[in-house]
Amino acid sequence: MNYQIIKEFPHPMMEKGKRPVISIYVDTNIKKPDRLENPIRFKNLVKEAQASLKDKEFKGFKDLFSLFKEMEEDALFWEGATESLAILGDEEECIVYKLPVNVKSLAIVSDSYYIKPMLRSFQSYGHYHVLGLNRDNFILFEADRDGIHGIPVDEKDSTMEGVLGTEKTAPHLSVASIGGDQSMYHGHGGAKDERKVDQEKFFRHVDAFILENYSKPYKIPLILVGLDEHQGEFRKLTKNKYLINEGIKVDVDSQDKKSLHEKVQNVMKELFKKELKERMDIFSEAHAKDLGSDDLVQIGRAIAEGKVATLYLEENKVHPGLFDPQLGTIVQGKIVDPRVGDVYDDMAEVVLSRGGEVLILENEDMPTESDIAAVYRY
């Protein structure tokens, strides 16, 4: 058995229905010498997962636990660790997500994968891409509340020379006879027009490349950094719905990482405040009209009936138990039981599967004092 590093979320493996399954989240230290502890932390979490399985179930997971041992001892695997790792596996396959946000370390064996931390990571808030665009090249970053990191992109995709190569627009010349054997060459359009044509070709490539390789898989906001003239031309042709309206109009090459991160954070904070206020207003209005609730039992019934449009869950809150998606009933349980998961996580999966939206928020950003809330479909 091998593992795959995945960017797609959700992944088809989550829909297989294999039971039980193992979810391991590792809050990794990425700085020396603390990062040397990451394999030990992972080893202890694997032991917790093993302890949750019954003897019969454990036998079916021998290949997976052998793989976990290989991962533990693989220095290159841990060398490339991000802020946290999500490792999900069943008896047949294993996938790994490198998450750019901190999550709480835990191991859960249950009937479905524990996905709340990934919802937090993949939703818009706190995690985004930054595109630094010049006339003939670009650089790409991923950023969150804690920092900004460059994403390596090959020059064949990140520079005009690499993208266009011999296809760069050549001067258009025509010949006119001026008598005898002499000819005069006339240029049409000039160098300025040629540069404009090439720039448009390059910008279209950049737009398609970012959309297919980063925006569609991650589904997070894209912030454009560049001079005003480049911003205008790029926005005229972009097809990327994740590109936000608020850009940073500076030459990206003039910014160090600290100053760029500060500018990016200011943009995202304003966007977040605006969206959060809208979310609060939506819940308050819905709650007042009995079209929303912060009561766990009522929300459970509404989910079973397919009525929940948006589910709000407080970050890092776990409610051990079983949720019946058909009846909407909740049975309390203990997380060490391999048949018991997180009720909130199960609810989130059902809401998503029925076309709803799930938001994972910090305590102070919740629209109510409760750690769960919902807005119903009208």
CATH number of 147's domain = 3.30.420.60
Please give, one letter per residue, the 3-state secondary structure of the chain.
CCEEECCCCCCHHHHCCCCCEEEEEEECCCCCCHHHHHHHHHHHHHHHHHHHCCHHHHHHCHHHHHHHHHHHHCHHHHHCCCCEEEEEECCCCEEEEEECCCCCCEEEEECCCCCHHHHHHHCCCCEEEEEEECCCEEEEEEEECCEEEEECCCHHHHEHHHHHHHHCCCCEEEEEECCCCCEEEEEECHHHHHHHHHHHHHHHHHHHHHHHHHHHHHCCCEEEECCHHHHHHHHHHCCCCCECCCCECCCHHHCCHHHHHHHHHHHHHHHHHHHHHHHHHHHHHHHHCCCEECCHHHHHHHHHCCCEEEEEEECCCCCEEEECCCCCCEEECCCCCCCCEEHHHHHHHHHHHCCCEEEEECHHHCCCCCCEEEEECC
pTM over 0.75: no
For residue 45, give the nearest of 21, 26, 62, 67 by alpha carbon.
26
Same domain, 249 and 296: no
Structural domain includes residue 235 = yes
Which residue in 239, 206, 241 sits closest to 222, CA to CA?
Answer: 241
Q: Is residue 181 part of a domain?
A: yes
**pLDDT (0 to 100) of residue 22:** 94
pLDDT of the residue at 348 = 93
Cis preceding-peptide flag for 320 (omega within 30 of 0): no
Q: What is the mean pLDDT of residues 86-99?
A: 93
Residues 85 and 185 in one domain: no
For residue 277, is it within any domain? no
Residue ending a domain, among 122, 154, 174, is 122
Residue 20 domain boundaries: 3-122
Q: Do residue 323 and residue 254 come from a single domain?
A: no
Q: At residue 282, does pLDDT exceed 80? A: yes
Check if the beta carbon of residue 212 is closer than 8 Å to that of residue 200. no
* Rg of the chain (C-alpha set): 26
The answer on 268 and 133 residing in a single domain is yes
Instruction: Tell me, yes or no, whether 284 lies in a domain.
Output: no
pLDDT tens digits for 124-136? 556 789 999 999 9
The C-alpha atoms of residue 194 and residue 169 are separated, in whole angstroms, by 6
Asked whether residue 187 carries a pLDDT value surpassing 70, the answer given is no
pLDDT at 80 over 80: no
Which one, of 93, 112, 146, 92, lies nearest residue 23 by Cα? 112
Whether 13 is in a domain gets the answer: yes
What CATH number is given to the structural domain containing 18?
3.30.960.10
Among candidate residues 227, 270, 229, 278, the one with its CA nearest the CA of residue 246: 270
Exposure string for 17-31, b = 16+ CB within 10 A, e = fewer: ebebbbbbbbbbbee
Indicate whether 209 and 229 sit together in one domain: yes
Residue 278 lies in a domain: no
Residue 32's pLDDT is what? 61
Burial class (CB in 10 A: 0-12, 13-18, 19+), 301: middle
What gap in Å lies between CA 241 and CA 227, rounded to an integer? 21
Check whether residue 219 and residue 166 sit in a common domain: yes
Q: Are residues 45 and 153 in the same domain?
A: no
Specify whether 147 is located in the same domain as 100: no
Residue 177 or 238, more confident = 238
Q: CA nearest 132: which of 30, 259, 272?
A: 259
**Are both 176 and 105 inside the same structural domain?**
no
Q: Are residues 351 and 323 in the same domain?
A: yes
Structural domain total, the chain: 3
In a domain, 282, yes or no: no
Q: What is the CATH number of the domain that holds 297?
A: 3.30.1330.30
Q: How far apart are CA 219 and CA 358, in angstroms?
A: 14
**CA count, 13 A, side-chain hemisphere, 324:** 9
Beta bridge partner(s), residue 85:
26, 98
Domain end residue (candidates: 65, 93, 122): 122
Amino acid type, 334: K
Assigned domain for 366 exists: yes
Least confident of 152-161, 170-179, 211-220: 170-179
Judge if 96 and 204 occupy the same domain.
no
Name the residue type at position 341: G
| pLDDT for residue 69 | 97
Confidence of residue 172 (pLDDT cuts 50, 70, 90): very low
Give mean pLDDT, residues 269-290. 87
Cis peptide preceding 152, ω within 30 of 0:
no
pLDDT confidence of 175, banded at 50, 70, 90? very low
Same-domain status, 263 and 371: no
173 pLDDT above the threshold of 50: no
Per residue in 329-360, pLDDT (tens digit) is 998 877 666 566 789 999 998 998 888 989 88
Each residue of 222-242: pLDDT tens digit? 999 999 999 999 999 999 999
Q: Which of 272, 305, 331 is the last residue of a domain?
A: 272
Residue 174: the pLDDT is 44
Torsion of CA 330, 110, 45, 70, to 10 degrees: -160
